Amino acid sequence: MSELTMLLDVTPPFLPPGAEVMTATIDLAPGDPGTPPHRHSGPVFGYVLEGELLFELEGEDPRVIHAGEAFWEPGGDLIHYQAANNLPDRPTRFVIVMLGVPGEPMLTLVAAAELETRRHRRGASPSDHATQPAGGTPEPEAPRGGAPAELPAHRGGATAVLGAQRGGATAVLGALRDGATTVLGAQRDGATTELGAQRGGGN
């Protein structure tokens, strides 16, 4: 006999009409700070498969979400500050379902200038924030010298994989589309943002 376990029951403030939906698994290495502060164009729902996720939304204090627990965010103008691996010695993995406005990016990084102007909206004082997980890896800076980096809107019903590569100071966002892979890389230290699209096995 099947058994239903309710993990989350919420009413989002809005759902984008004709929303595009992206399902992704996120794998964070030990101590990985995750994606820098960003926004989603619509609500996001998630479930931690393993590890511990340090989670912070604008107006809320950082909190730890453990394996087997669900979470969500309303999207829109709200800034998502942290989705970091809270463990220094073990990976963290979670799955998310993102609902986005058709034709708009599912994820947009927030520029440093805007983060400063909205600093007072964070749930705790800046000195109280756990801006890095237990592993001690600093949170990457928001992109500089240009428009915020974006994860393009999902197409074709493929499952997207969002990854963050650390150690080389390069953040990588990838979306699988109809067998092709679009890679958006934000290279730090050189303040250079690169967008590369690989189609059908070509460059």
Distances (CA, A) of 36 to 41, 86, 131, 158: 16, 15, 10, 24
CATH number belonging to domain 20-124+135-198: 2.60.120.10
Instruction: Kindly list the distances between the CA atom of residue 8 and the CA atoms of 12, 88, 134, in Å, as whole numbers in the listed order.
Output: 12, 28, 27
**Tens digit of each residue's pLDDT, the chain (203 residues):** 899 999 999 999 999 999 999 999 999 999 999 999 999 999 999 999 999 999 999 999 999 999 999 999 999 999 999 999 999 999 999 999 999 999 999 999 999 999 999 999 998 744 454 444 433 334 444 333 333 444 444 333 333 334 333 333 223 333 333 333 333 333 333 333 333 333 344 44
Quickly tell me which residue has 């590569």 as its tokens.
Answer: 165
Domain map of the chain by residue range? Answer: 20-124+135-198
pLDDT value, residue 8 = 95
Give dist(CA 160, CA 97) in Å, integer: 10
Rounded CA separation 9/32 (Å):
29
